[in-house]
């Protein structure tokens, strides 16, 4: 049952009940929200592909059965270092479990008392949207090499006067 499932309309209850699993590869253009946060020139120059998998499980007895989904994914984005401005590879890795509950109200009510992520169950769950959400959350806020130098400013090398130096001449002498 590797790729028989529609990731845009995944029947979570059935997927978990069968203990199904699937493996996919999605090119960066197939993840438009992730591609949108990448610098356009770098994303096109170094295309990447996300490798991801889903595993469904039903835990508990028949009366208290709960549907779970395990998402694993890896993707390497090319982004610009915020310190030296050179391109750099940013590896992203996801390994998360999600528990499904009856509706959004139940998810909100139980969220504070559990460690796992809760999602409302749906007969047409969009797993690709979940993948994109998790990839976006995995992108570091500040992308930088472990050790690099900031580029030298062009203004530091010039013998230009300080932009506010002329204001010093406008000061009135103190009485």
Residue 175 lies in a domain: no
Mean pLDDT over each residue of the chain, to the nearest integer = 86
Mean pLDDT computed over 138-154:
81
Residues 6+ apart with CB under 8 A from 165: none
Is the per-residue pLDDT at 6 higher than 50?
yes
Report the alpha-carbon distance of residue 113 to residue 121 in Å, rounded: 19
**Residue 153, CA distances (Å) to 156, 157, 158, 161 in order:** 5, 7, 10, 15
Dihedral over Cα of 9, 13, 16, 20: its sign = negative
pLDDT band for position 1 (cuts 50, 70, 90): very low
Q: Is residue 161 situated within a structural domain?
A: yes
Domain membership flag for residue 69 = yes
Span 40-66, pLDDT tens digits = 776 656 668 999 999 999 998 878 889
Is residue 173 in a domain?
no
For residue 154, tell me if it sits in a domain.
Answer: yes
Asked whether residue 83 is domain-assigned, the answer is yes
The total of other beta-carbon atoms located within 10 Å of residue 127's CB is: 21
Residue 78 domain flag: yes
CA–CA distance, 19 with 26 (Å, rounded to integer): 23
**What's the pLDDT at 148?**
82
Distance CA 26, CA 92 (A): 14
Q: Are strands 49-59 and 21-27 parallel, antiparallel or unpaired?
A: antiparallel
pLDDT at 88 over 50: yes
| CA-angle at 164, arms to 159 and 170, nearest 5° | 125
Answer yes or no: are the C-beta atoms of 58 and 99 closer than 8 Å. Answer: no
pLDDT band at 94 (very low <50, low <70, confident <90, very high): very high
Q: Place 37 in a pLDDT band, splitting at 50, 70 and 90.
A: confident
pLDDT score of 46: 64
Residue 110, in any domain of the structure: yes
97, 103, 104, 106 alpha-carbon torsion, rounded to 10°: -80
Total domains present in the chain? 1
Q: Detail the DSSP E strand segments found in 40-143.
A: 49-59, 66-80, 87-101, 117-120
pTM: 0.79
30 has a pLDDT exceeding 50? yes
Q: Domain limits at 30?
A: 12-168
């Amino acid at each position: 049952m590797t790729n028989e499932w529609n990731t845009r309309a995944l029947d979570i209850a059935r997927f978990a009940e069968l203990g199904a699993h699937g493996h996919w590869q999605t090119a960066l253009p197939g993840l438009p929200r992730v591609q949108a946060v990448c610098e356009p020139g770098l994303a096109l120059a170094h295309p990447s592909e996300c490798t991801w998998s889903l595993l469904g499980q039903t835990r508990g007895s028949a009366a208290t059965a709960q549907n779970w989904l395990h998402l694993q994914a890896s993707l390497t984005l090319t982004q610009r270092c915020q310190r030296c401005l050179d391109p750099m590879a940013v590896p992203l890795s996801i390994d998360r479990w999600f528990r499904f509950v009856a509706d959004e109200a139940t998810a909100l009510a139980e969220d504070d008392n559990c460690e796992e992520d809760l999602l409302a169950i749906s007969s047409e769950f969009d797993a690709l949207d979940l993948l994109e959400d998790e990839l976006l959350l995995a992108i570091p806020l500040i992308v930088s090499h472990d050790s690099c130098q900031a580029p030298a400013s062009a203004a530091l090398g010039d013998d230009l006067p300080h932009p506010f130096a002329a204001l010093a001449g406008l000061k009135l002498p103190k009485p």
